[in-house]
Chains A and B, each alone.
Chain A
Amino acid sequence: MSPFDPAKVERPAPALLKYYIIMALLTGPLSVFVILPLLFKYETLRYKFDSEGMSMSWGILMRREIYLTYRRIQDIHLTRNIIQRWLGLATISVQTASGSSSPEVSIEGILEADALRDFLYTKMRGAREHHDEEQVAPPADEALSLLREIRDLLRRRVQPESQP
């Protein structure tokens, strides 16, 4: 099996459509009203995972697009109900420190949910300690080379005067 690449995830898996239809049918007589928004959501749902954050957008009349950076993730919940387990699906709820009790982003329809969850986990704060040092190192080295440059320029300017 090739390693999971979140950058390739753009659309939910077709199994999500099946799941939406089953969930709509379970509401009985209401399913006519329930199914349309779900169909629209499935058709318009787009994901984008880059190195810093993820975005998710959906909707026809009311378009919504959410963007969040991985570092702001507070907790990740992965839930699978019985129908989702049969279809191989899962819901990944990602939360930031905002004030709502409902999750900020619910990622649905990803077959490699475990791999995606672990990807988000390794990107969130506290999963890796060395992350800070990686970010600190480059500017510090730049400062050092800058200082060396200043020193050399100074030496060149100061030394010819002091020599004679």
Chain B
Amino acid sequence: MTHNVERAATWMYRGVWGILTRWFRVPEAPPSLPTLPGEVLQSFRPADGFLGYLKLKFWVVFSLNAALIIVIWVAVTAARPWIGAWLTPLLIVLLLVPLVLGYLAIHLRFDSTWYVLSQRSLRIRSGIWTISEATITFENIQNVTVESGPVERFFNIGNVIVDTAGGGSGGGQHGSKGPPNLHRGALAGVSNANEIRHVILSRLSHSKVSGLGDEFPLPPTGWRGEHLAVLREIRDALR
């Protein structure tokens, strides 16, 4: 029984995904980055644990709402049984529609999220209605945060958040309300958060600049061996 339901759900989901890619022009392939010769691109989705985490969060909210609706329905049925009987189809709709839509939204969110890392930069794609792709070079990153709550740790996932210079009042923390902070990229729900942080920080430590546009504070002197040799010859000529 459950197997059949699962198969039907998969089949329906593929249909929705097909419509999205064809009619709503949702790209299927992961985003790419311009690379230098010999550069390796690494593109991945959030970890599978992220799907479980999103579903658990959904179930908590859903069951609270469902309990409330059922309590109201039971109270109405106890008081006026015929109204309760009339309300039964509405009850079923109120329970089933959010369930289906919620699962659909979770899977679409999961499938449309991509993280791409190259040697020098990262690109994050997310969204279905509005697809947004953020590109940040490692040289511009000011700090890297890894955060994971207790439930996220249970699913073995974490969030890597990178910030670039520049601020604004925009909604700060990941997941909070408010306008999105555009000086921030979040790799949400990855299983190797610490590893990714390490990769980013090790590439960051190679960089000699602070990421604020101050690469050339003074014209570089750049004395090389040849200059020194000529200078010695000048000294010798003067002796």
Binding site for B on A (CB under 8 A): 71-72, 74-82, 85-86, 93, 95-103, 117-118, 121-122, 124-129, 132, 135-136, 139-140, 143-144, 147-148, 150-151, 154-155, 158-159
Contacts and interface: CB of A to CB of B under 8 A. Distances in A.
B226 interface: yes
Contacts of A93: 182
Contacts of A135: 216
A124 B47 CA distance: 30
A126 B164 CA distance: 13
B171 to A, nearest CB: 9
Contact of A98 (B129, B133, B139, B166): B166
B237 A155 contact: yes
Shortest 9 CB-CB contacts between residues of A and residues of B: A101-B168, A126-B139, A126-B137, A101-B170, A97-B165, A140-B222, A85-B25, A97-B166, A79-B132
A72 B137 CA distance: 12
Q: Which of under 10, 10 to 19, 20 to 34, or 35 or more describes the interface residues of B?
A: 35 or more
A60 B134 CA distance: 32
A136 B36 contact: no
B145 to A, nearest CB: 16
A71 B214 CA distance: 10
A121 B33 CA distance: 9
A96 B166 contact: yes
B168 A102 contact: yes
